[in-house]
Amino acid sequence: MSGLRIPLDGPDGSGTDHALSLLAPNPSPMTLDGTNTWVIGRGEDVLVVDPGPDDGPHLRRVADRLRGRRVTAILLTHGHHDHSGGAKGFAELVRAPVRALDPGHRLGDEGLADGDVLTAGGLELHVVGTPGHSFDSLCFWLPEDRAMLTGDTVLGRGTSVIAPDGDLADYLRSLDRLRATAERVGAEALLPGHGPVLPDPIGALDGYIAHRRQRLDQIRSARERGARTPAEIVEVVYADVDRSLWPAAEMSVRAQLAYLDG
Ligand SMILES: [Zn+2]
């Protein structure tokens, strides 16, 4: 590639030669600094990935940054509100279709699925199906920059959770697939849905896979020691995690129990 841009003051303006993050103003324990809206392209045509929440000033800022370039499609990494809430408003602003795996999130006739290849200004973006965080999660591979957009499947900091519409067995398979893909294609950056750019894809994915196995082991041993309910397991296994994250941890524990007992 291609230079990585990693500003010190947060994800806004980060990216690669042909991928730019414009950070949405929705920080929280779950969304880290906020949602990264990615503008992908070269020349006159661009793709916009994850408009973010329904926040007028953010959507107008993204549209302004395009400086008259044409948005050929708005893509969603998945349907969660912090990524998709602004899709309809942004579609009206830039007059572009919304493509997503979930038909309920599309605007226009075209869907989005594993194996699809999109183009913008001669750049290719390859769709990689990665269910798990949610049932409809997708990643996007940008070969020109050797960069993978990961949505919430891999975050720039900490770890991702399995949402109620996700599945841990699917998630573990998706992490393995992403790792194999990253190795095969020589990925040099992960561009996440939240948090900073990750310059070491294999290291980040190995860390995610190891973390998942460790949490599963901890849950098995917490149960052996008598913890029964998801809340009891959270108290033991996530004792070192800030309490504001415990509701998310409980969601994760439920997903892991479903996996262990499934
Ligand atoms: Zn998110």
Q: Which domains does the chain have, with CATH numbers?
A: 14-201 (3.60.15.10)
Query: The whole model's pTM is what?
Result: 0.94
Q: How does pLDDT run across 15-56, given as a tens digit for each residue? A: 999 999 999 999 998 899 999 999 999 989 999 999 999 999
- Ligand 1 (ion): residues with CB under 5 Å are 82, 152, 193
pLDDT tier, 2 (very low <50, low <70, confident <90, very high otherwise):
low
**Gap from CA of 224 to ligand 1 centroid (Å):** 33
**Gap from CA of 19 to ligand 1 centroid (Å):** 18
Q: How does pLDDT run across 125-155, given as a tens digit for each residue? A: 999 999 999 999 999 999 999 999 999 999 9
**Gap from CA of 194 to ligand 1 centroid (Å):** 7
**Gap from CA of 176 to ligand 1 centroid (Å):** 21
Q: How does pLDDT run across 85-127, given as a tens digit for each residue? A: 999 999 999 999 999 999 999 999 999 999 999 999 889 999 9
Closest residue by Cα to residue 61 from 31, 28, 39:
39
**Gap from CA of 226 to ligand 1 centroid (Å):** 33
**Gap from CA of 80 to ligand 1 centroid (Å):** 6
**Gap from CA of 152 to ligand 1 centroid (Å):** 5
